[in-house]
Structure 1
């Protein structure tokens, strides 16, 4: 095995930052002065709120609550929605690299991939949520849209169900089954200087630093800096990754005001990334998953992404009962891809691959203003909220695709060829060297809500309305001729919580989702679509949900029953992308978390889903299951402190998913799968410094399986699960 080499510049930068922070800490540590200063405790606050982060629940893997859109941060027992907030402790202990790694723990979420690219996407309650629609500190569209490194966030918050009133419409039309919000890192009360390094399968290595300090006589100012470099292969043959990241979080607070600022830059590069597998129209069954280490990517393929982003958020208390807030952010990103996905045409795994080059540039701006107020009228307490939000995306794009000049290969025995030139018959859109404006999306809304507290706070009734305007304009390739729409709608919400006992809450909600109409893809299984880039009108989804939550102090959980209807889109027999019928997702969710016994933590649950196509107008699809959505899925994890061996812990996690279908007619059945992951860590002290050693094996049995199916309307493309992957790391706190 060859040695692992790190570029000198990123490693030197991380080490220099760490040493500088140590020096700064030594210079600014206050000396004891009797009677001069009292101890001040500052609650780290990602969203500039007075309350700070919610406390971790017993066991430390999840928090006691999280952000519920414009309603702010709420305790899990007081909100009429199903939520989970995963903590930095879980993220670090599992060596999670991205949002997808964290959400493997969630029984209601399954990780998928974008259409024709390597974007991390997620099925929540069977509905797709693209990483475009992930919020950063409550604002959409600020984070990298393909891959989000775990170094960028303190917590991962999952809100299950539709949320038009709570969060507004999402940029790309997701958010029907739920939303994901990432909280940035903040400086805590204790100084932090942490340097970490590790290696994993494929001779991949990384080094990172995490530095935090608070300043001033009252510790009112905080700074948190993160830097990371990751480079090397993966467990997949000849696949390579390179990641560079830098982020800075600042916060300041006084008695009545709080401000936070976040800036970040991420560059993510994939070389010979293994592509999705599309099933050809002639197939009558799904081929078996190939060896999980095989790479059917062509040697000249790549996917690069570069993002720079920032946001500012502030709150001001006009008086003890009235608070106003404001937030704004922006992102600029550049993506370049040279791809060749494989379309399998025979049961033996043979297929075609066509060169596809793509360039994309995004410019995003977003802002939010709001006010919260509390008042009491008789025996009823009111928590009022009002907000205005704005979002704008300008996407430039260019592509070239040689669909009629395919290369013959196989997903079982791949054939590599030299980079082919484009032929005269290739499909083209704009200039790859100078991408032109393709899409402009503007979302604006005004929302008002009131939470009424009744019966000595045992009953909570939340009512709200959001008036939203969606403006979406598409521009034809080359000509730039615009077409689009501007539509408005009022989205209502009603939620109710009744605290049957201090440990038990019953809840119910009715809420709608409002989504930008889907955009017709360039191609599907059978070839080009005849209205590529066409945008459908916005659609409304309607959700009804009831549930019960339990908080036993050391162990907690919830049961939820839900039903959501969503208009559907598909490619018709004339190869046009149109809206017709609806998808109805009904299901049951069980989640659990906490510390079952001293030193034994549990996390996971079970989801049962009945996702059917309704009123499709075709007997071949009516009543059939939605592409890529299983009937059953779940995950369960345990984390155990070994008795008598201080500092040593083991963890195990099982992730399982039932079978699903890769086509609307349900003729292509994709087998279910289960995976076992194991980890260990040891915390000790060395020369007065805290040292944490971690080791992990994902997919212990090295199973071959199709990890996800689809992620775009009427496309049942397959993603092969990763091989057995080893990771070891060491972190030192100075």
Structure 2
């Protein structure tokens, strides 16, 4: 889990934690502090017994958003677990990570990989200035851009979307299989973006910040919130951001983002909520995708900087639009039972004019293949859920029941362009250009999921508890041609994805667990680069076994997990046909801890070791799974300078081991290590809290190739500087 050592200071100010983290010598200490999330009115997780709960709470360290000594990993804070309801991370029998909004601000993140930079189980495949913005690998498995992303628990299509991170309260990651919790999806896990919420109290929120990032990108952001009306009945939180300028690779970016969260306390027991997020983003001169599908060498060409102008052309661009609207009702029947219902509508579109450089040889020669087209996705979702506590004899139950409906539609360009426009060399300027043409889109596919789910967490004794849950899903997928005629149909009713877990309390602050969960992911529509482009593959079933421990204490916290995941394998065969064949196996260990040393130092680290292989297939058996690094380690250190109160400096480092680029195992991406520095300073000027953040990423300007997707690589980002100043009113 990601740790955050930034915390709210007294008087409403904030102490900002830099991108922290130095020496890889600290590998034995890891996992940053988890984000804080309001849990007012939520049904509490069942720990040992209802009567023991009160005494346990008295024993556990207090958590407050205004405290300067927050628990290090925030394992007592809530995390959304879908069909399990909302429960603390300490009571969740799966590995999770939560990164707080303050940590996002301190790191000044630009892409999803930056969010989890201190989590060893997450590898960065993302890029802030092309369509790979949401690509990360978790435990060696890439997330599914159609089903693995949520905003405030509601699904949206994340392909090409760079989120407005300055408008988020936290980012949550549920690692591993999520079939029981959320339905169809990749076994890599689920990312949930939590937007900023109205304040619980009458305190008003008003801040303005401005930022600068290499080479000349400027950002301004406003955050407003408060409560109004009789008895503070209505709450609101409004954020607006404008970003524009020249990126580190010589391209340009322009973004406008707006979000609104509101609630109404209609009665003491009934609360209505509303949320909206709108973002329009244009990026030109985007970083070109680089494929090795036609590469004949046994090792990759010499590295070059991600800021190199030879990898961009001014006619390439990515325009995206994201909209999501949510509405919900929550009714507390009594102190033990709550009913809730939520509806959401999301829409994401992208217009790409993007090249893929198909590398040919170690000299860096390539065929330049251009894609241009428009794509869009819409999701309508509805869910109703009941959460509560009951007692049957000596046993106590935490129950969750619910029903969910989701319909996704995909629109694609009828006359998109995909073809070779020239040749070139990655070390020389690209002179190829492609002029845009007019497009029209058509309904390409729709996917409907209808599900019932239930779970029961039974407290057997004060220490032992058992969890059982099941999700029952009807799944239907249709493909259509330009005239609207159905070209393919896949239907599977009665899909059952169970989960079971056993938990043991070593102490009120420490939980041991063993869990099993199954998942089913939707069949892929094969992309244009393969010989069977447009084919719809069957869904893949996966299984996960996990044994773990979580412990949260006053001055230290730690987590560890052993896991094994069995997943159906997909890859391109020797005829460049994308197929499902055999299984891919992932088994390994992840561990981390954070420790507060004295009053001024915080150190930590995170490690993941994983062994992967293909089996039961017609080829590649025994080879490492493409995209899964064998070893990853991260470490960080922060120091609050006593001579200058309010100043914190820090450093962090992350090592990513070598990674197979292809299922055939004949080409590797070498390992690399990145160092970052950061500093934050908080003070009061004229009665206002003022903060300044500075971050220096890739301090040594290391050049390296990074895995992006099977047979795709990207150059590592160059050294970049980010500065931000904020004033609270």
With normalisation by structure 2, the TM-score equals: 0.87
Over 3 Å counting, the alpha-carbon distance change for 1:47 and 1:575 in structure 2 is: farther
* Aligned counterparts, 1:113-512, within 5 A: 113=126, 117-132=131-146, 133-141=148-156, 146-170=161-185, 174=186, 176-188=187-199, 189=201, 190-236=203-249, 238-253=250-265, 254-279=267-292, 280-295=294-309, 296-398=311-413, 405-419=420-434, 433-456=439-462, 458-476=463-481, 480-488=485-493, 489-512=495-518
**Contact 2:131/2:159 (<8 A) preserved:** no
User: Do the aligned partners of 2:650 and 2:679 also contact (CA within 8 Å) in 1?
Assistant: yes
Residue in 2 that maps onto 1:606: 607
State the Cα distance separating 1:421 from its structure 2 match.
8.0
Check whether the contact 2:223–2:237 (CA below 8 A) recurs between aligned residues. Answer: yes
Runs (5+) with no aligned partner, structure 1? 1-42, 423-431
**Contact 2:71–2:553 (Cα < 8 Å) also in 1:** no
CA 1:196–1:107 in 2, change beyond 3 Å: closer, same or farther?
same
Residues 1:638 and 2:599 aligned together? no
Which has the larger displacement, 681-690 or 141-150? 141-150
1:177 deviation in Å? 2.2
Q: 1:551 to 1:130 in 2, by over 3 A?
A: same
Q: Deviations over 1:297-320 (max 9, x none)?
A: 222110000122211122111222
**Matched position secondary structure for 1:117:** coil
Q: Per-residue deviation at 1:246?
A: 0.6
Moved over 6 A (4+): 50-54
Distance 1:283 1:680, change over 3 A: same
C-alpha change, 1:641 and 1:689, in structure 2 (3 Å) is same
CA distance in 1, matches of 2:41, 2:375: 33
**Residues 328 and 343 in structure 2, CA contact (< 8 A), matched pair in contact too:** yes
The answer to whether the 8 Å contact 2:63/2:71 transfers is no
SS at 2:665's partner residue? coil
Q: Give CA-to-partner distance per residue, 1:675-702, whole Å, 9 cap, x none.
A: 0111111111111111101111010100
Tell me the SS of whatever aligns to 2:515. strand
Pair 362,571 (structure 1): closer, same or farther in 2 beyond 3 Å: same
Q: Aligned pair count?
A: 666
Give the structure 1 partner of residue 25 of structure 2.
none
Partner secondary structure for residue 135 of structure 2: strand
Distance in 2 separating the partners of 1:161 and 1:154: 23
SS in 2 for 1:91: helix
Alpha-carbon distance, 1:601 to partner: 3.0
Deviation, structure 1 residue 116: 8.8
Q: Residue 722 of structure 1 is aligned with which of 680, 694, 717?
A: 717
SS at match of 2:174: strand
- CA distance, structure 2, for counterparts of residue 244 and residue 201 of structure 1: 19
Deviation at 1:54, TM superposition (A): 8.0
* Corresponding position of 1:73: 86
Query: CA offset at residue 105 of structure 1?
Result: 2.1
State the shift of 1:672 in Å.
0.6
Q: Distance in 2 between matches of 1:675 and 1:438?
A: 42
The answer to whether the Cα contact below 8 Å between 1:655 and 1:676 also exists between their aligned partners in 2 is: yes
CA deviation string 1:260-295 (max 9, x = no partner): 211111011110101221112423321122133213
Contact 1:105-1:635 within 8 A present in 2 as well:
yes
Q: 1:481: Cα distance to partner?
A: 3.8
Q: In the aligned structure 2, how far is the partner of 1:260 from the partner of 1:143?
A: 24
Structure 2, unaligned stretches of length 5 or more? 1-35, 46-61
The alignment partner of 1:107 has SS state of coil
Q: Residue deviations 1:456-496, cap 9 Å, x none?
A: 2x222110111012211122456744202111311111011
**2:573 alignment counterpart:** 572
Q: Is the 8 A contact 1:50 1:258 kept in 2?
A: no
Does the 8 A contact of 2:71 with 2:554 survive in 1? no
Is the CA contact (8 Å cut-off) linking 2:303 and 2:704 kept in structure 1?
Answer: yes
The equivalent residue for 2:17 is none
Is the aligned partner of 1:733 residue 2:722?
A: no
Q: Out of 493-502 and 74-83, give the one that drifted further.
A: 74-83
Q: Does the residue aligned with 1:433 lie in a helix, a strand or coil? A: coil
What is the deviation of 1:662?
1.2
Give the structure 1 partner of residue 101 of structure 2: 88
| CA gap 1:116/1:209 in 2 versus in 1, 3 angstroms | closer
CA contact (8 A) 1:252 1:260 kept: yes
Q: After the TM superposition, which of the residue ranges 191-200 and 329-338 deviates more from structure 2?
A: 329-338
| Cα distance in 2 for residues equivalent to 1:490 and 1:419 | 48
TM-aligned CA distance change 1:636 to 1:339, over 3 Å:
same
The CA distance in 1 between the partners of 2:726 and 2:365, in whole Å, is 46
The question of whether the paired residues in 1 share the 8 Å contact of 2:101 and 2:166 is answered with no
Output the CA distance in 2 between the equivalents of 1:724 and 1:413: 21
Whole-Å separation in 2 of the counterparts to 1:448 and 1:96: 37
SS of match in other structure, 2:378: strand
Further displaced range: 471-480 or 303-312: 471-480
Report the alpha carbon displacement of residue 91 of structure 1 after superposing the two structures with TM.
Answer: 1.5
Q: Which residue of 2 aligns with 1:4?
A: none
* Higher RCO, Cα 8 Å, sep 6+: 2
What is the SS of the residue equivalent to 1:341?
strand
Q: Secondary structure at the match of 1:100?
A: helix
